[in-house]
Each structure stands twice: as C-alpha cells, then as structure tokens.
C-alpha cells in the first residue's frame, strides 16, 4: 500500500519538477535573448556610463570638500597661533 501511494505521488512530484524546470529554462532563454534595460520612467537608461558619471561626480565633490576642509583647518590653526603669540588688546 505504501509503495502504491509512493509511486502515485512520485510521478506527481516528477511532473511538477519537470514543469518548474521547463519554466526556468524558458525564462532563462528569454532573458538571454532580450537585453535587460533599466530606465527611470523611460527618461534615461541606467547603464555603466551613467554609473561611471555618478561615481566621478561624487569623487570630485568629495575632493573639493576635502580641500575646503583642509583650508578651513589651516585658517583656524593660524588664527589660534596668532592669538597665543600676540597678547595685545585693541582699544577702540
């Protein structure tokens, strides 16, 4: 009785697995034949060129901000050094 039940369900399982395999291979073939294109509401494509431009822009922005930070730090250091070396008061 167990073997009869097993053979019936085994064939159903094999049929279901075969359907899944056919579906996966069909979808894989269609993905290989159709080029995947990601867009922002069809205004522009997200591709490697756009990614390269974004990374370049962020890098340039960070370099500029780093330069400003270094300049501000130098000015603050000079101001602090000037305040400690000259202890003069100005009368207005």
pLDDT means over runs of 10, the chain (92 residues): 62 88 90 82 88 95 89 84 68 54
d(CA 52, CA 92): 58
pLDDT of 88:
56
**E strand or H helix at 31, and its extent?**
helix 2-33
Identify the domain containing residue 63 by its residue range: 43-77
pLDDT of 80:
84
pLDDT of 9:
74
d(CA 26, CA 32): 10
pLDDT of 5:
57
Closest among 30, 29, 50, 28 to 39, alpha carbons compared = 50
Residue 65 lies in a domain: yes
**Tokens 């996966």 label which residue?**
24
C-alpha radius of gyration, the chain, whole number:
34
Enter the tokens of residue 36.
């995947």
Residue 13 lies in a domain: no
Residue 26 lies in a domain: no
Residue 33 lies in a domain: no
Residue 14 lies in a domain: no
pLDDT of 57:
96
What's the whole-model pTM score? Answer: 0.47
Residue 50 lies in a domain: yes
């Amino acid at each position: 009785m167990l073997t009869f039940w097993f053979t019936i369900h085994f064939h159903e399982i094999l049929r279901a697995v075969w359907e899944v395999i056919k579906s996966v291979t069909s979808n894989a073939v269609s993905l290989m034949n159709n080029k995947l294109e990601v867009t922002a509401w069809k205004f522009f494509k997200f591709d490697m060129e756009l990614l390269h431009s974004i990374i370049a822009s962020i890098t340039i922005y960070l370099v500029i901000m780093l330069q400003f930070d270094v300049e501000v730090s130098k000015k603050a250091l000079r101001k602090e050094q000037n305040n400690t070396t000259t202890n003069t008061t100005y009368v207005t």
